[in-house]
Structure 1
Amino acid sequence: MEIDIPEVKAEVEAAFAGYEAALAANDVEALDGFFRADPRTIRYGGGENLYGIEEIRAFRKGRSPAGIARTLERTVITTFGRDFAVASTMFRRESDGGRIGRQQQTWVRFAEGWRVVAAHVSALPASMP
């Protein structure tokens, strides 16, 4: 298996950047499009466990857009072959009191394009590395 095929990595980096732009704009429709529309798609968040695209959609629609802007750090995107990737990043939000956020996404290429099939978001105290 080839790891980090340049053109595949570029595709996932572009999808990840699109997700980040949609998140910063609180573009709920666009955010929805980055996740696989499937009952097996999972998103573990800072205060919620979401099973299936319907729960993820409901969370996005009900979430306040206040304080969601963030700065990314140490983003690592690794592709495995042509159809599977993992994106990991740390982030900071002014609204989080200095805590360090962590996000990890599993991306899979489908006929409709790259989609997140599993995601985890959590935060640590600011004193953690």
Structure 2
Amino acid sequence: MWREKTVHRETRVLQTLVFINSVVWRALFDKQADALGRSTENDDEYMITDNEPSILKYIAAPKEMSSFSPGAFLAGIVEAIVECCRCPARVTSHLVPAEGMPLKTVILVKFDGPVMEREKRLDAAK
């Protein structure tokens, strides 16, 4: 936010996610995340997709650590930002290999109930 010279902090869910998807990803990884989407099943879930996260190119998990998710670092970054923007959420990372994209990672952001209630109130006030 300092780098972008913004005076206020985003507190709306979509604006916060767009900020992460574009500004934060570009500052950290020199590119925008590949996709930002909303779950069709749950209104409180959003996904940030990176087809080739540069940070994962240098992490290899041993086979005995099958539950280790190298993308957890990315999820931690996202969780810290949404928390600072007053949008607490449970953030998890999922490796979803696709043809030609073996490191494709989806960051799943599931916002807390009070956050979604606040969003509904703010949308109704418009």
In our comparison, the structure showing a higher alpha carbon Rg is 2
Query: What is the TM-score when the length of structure 1 is the normalising length?
Result: 0.30
More helix by share: 2
